[in-house]
Amino acid sequence: MRKILIILSLFLVFCKYALTEENGRWICYSETSDGGKYYYNRESINWITGDIVEIWVKGILGDNSKSSSIKKGRSPEKPLEVYEERMWCKIDIKNKKFILLCSLKCNKNGEVLSGVAFLTFPHWFRIIPDTPLEALWKEICELQKKLSEKTQKI
């Protein structure tokens, strides 16, 4: 009985650590009406200049998603079953623009189903108001402000 309690305790501690690690790395910044959630990876933030940042984001599609990518499949026998999309992008904070560098569609197991890299033809796009991308832009602006305040105190 004592062995079972020790094993159960270790398991619970490990689970708590694993969940905390995952939750600590991916920060939710937006939710959609269809149940979708958007996250950015705080460990991936790379300030290229004072106003341009590279960052990984992911969108987990909601159960009521109307996204065509969730309904499309390679064949009726093997649908794509897209659960989330991970994107690597650059954001120009000052000019409120972004570049999509890479996009990966993954299933629930985290396996990559398809991917596209835009490294050879990057193009800046305006960030559309009232979208999850604008919510990310606002988060990054706040991070920039906090970093600037820390730097000024030193």
CA distance to 1, 55, 82, 114, per residue, from 68 (Å): 52, 25, 10, 15
Domain topology for 26-153: Lipocalin (2.40.128)
Q: What pLDDT was estimated at residue 95?
A: 96
- Integer-rounded Cα radius of gyration of the chain: 19
The one-character DSSP state at 46 is E
Q: Which residue has the higher pLDDT, 12 or 143?
A: 143
Distance between CA atoms of residues 97 and 52, nearest Å: 10
Q: Would you say 29 and 139 are in contact if contact means Cβ atoms under 8 Å apart?
A: yes
Q: What pLDDT was estimated at residue 69?
A: 45
Q: What pLDDT was estimated at residue 58?
A: 93
Q: What pLDDT was estimated at residue 109?
A: 84
Tens digits of residue pLDDT in 44-98: 999 999 899 999 999 998 766 555 444 444 444 445 578 889 999 999 999 999 9
Distance between CA atoms of residues 127 and 110, nearest Å: 28
Tens digits of residue pLDDT in 19-46: 334 557 899 999 988 888 999 999 999 9
CA distance to 2, 41, 45, 138, 143, per residue, from 31 (Å): 44, 16, 21, 14, 20
Distance between CA atoms of residues 107 and 82, nearest Å: 5
Q: Which residue has the higher pLDDT, 14 or 92?
A: 92
**pLDDT tier for residue 138 given thresholds of 50, 70 and 90:** very high
